Chain A
Amino acid sequence: KAGVTQTPRYLIKTRGQQVTLSCSPISGHRSVSWYQQTPGQGLQFLFEYFSETQRNKGNFPGRFSGRQFSNSRSEMNVSTLELGDSALYLCASSLVLAGVTDTQYFGPGTRLTVL
Chain B
Amino acid sequence: GENVEQHPSTLSVQEGDSAVIKCTYSDSASNYFPWYKQELGKGPQLIIDIRSNVGEKKDQRIAVTLNKTAKHFSLHITETQPEDSAVYFCAASRDSDSWGKLQFGAGTQVVVTP
Contact B43 A90 (CB under 8 A): yes
Q: Of A32, A35, A104, which one neighbours B46 at CB under 8 angstroms?
A: A104
Cβ of A4: which chain B residues have Cβ within 8 Å of it? 43
Contact B36 A42 (CB under 8 A): no
The answer to the question of B98 belonging to the interface, with a C-beta cut-off of 8 Å to chain A, is yes
Contact A106 B107 (CB under 8 A): no
Contact B100 A55 (CB under 8 A): yes
Contact B43 A103 (CB under 8 A): no
Q: How far is the CA of A18 from the CA of B19 in the complex (A)?
A: 43
Contact B44 A90 (CB under 8 A): yes
Known: A103-B49, A106-B36. A58 touches B43 (CB 8 A): no
The answer to the question of B95 belonging to the interface, with a C-beta cut-off of 8 Å to chain A, is yes
Contact B98 A56 (CB under 8 A): yes
Contact A50 B43 (CB under 8 A): no
- For chain A, give the interface size range: 20 to 34
Contact A106 B44 (CB under 8 A): yes
Which one of A35, A48, A104 has the highest number of Cβ atoms from chain B below 10 Å of its Cβ? A104
Which chain B residue lies CB-closest to A96? B99
Q: Of A31, A107, A108, which one neighbours B100 at CB under 8 angstroms?
A: A31
Known: A42-B106, A43-B89, A101-B95. A48 touches B100 (CB 8 A): yes
- 0 or 1 for each of B91-113: is its CB under 8 Å from A? (1 = yes): 10101001111111111000000
The answer to the question of B61 belonging to the interface, with a C-beta cut-off of 8 Å to chain A, is no
Contact A107 B101 (CB under 8 A): no
Contact A33 B102 (CB under 8 A): yes
Which A residues have a C-beta under 8 Å from some C-beta of B?
Answer: 4, 31-33, 35, 42-45, 48-50, 55-56, 58, 90, 92, 94, 99-101, 103-109
Which B residues have a C-beta under 8 Å from some C-beta of A?
Answer: 34, 36, 41-46, 49, 89, 91, 93, 95, 98-107
Closest 4 CB pairs of A and B: A48-B100, A106-B43, A33-B100, A43-B104
Q: A43-B91, A45-B102, A105-B46 are in contact. List 14 more A-B contacts (CB 8 A).
A: A33-B101, A33-B102, A42-B104, A42-B106, A43-B102, A48-B100, A56-B98, A56-B99, A101-B95, A101-B99, A103-B46, A103-B49, A104-B102, A108-B41
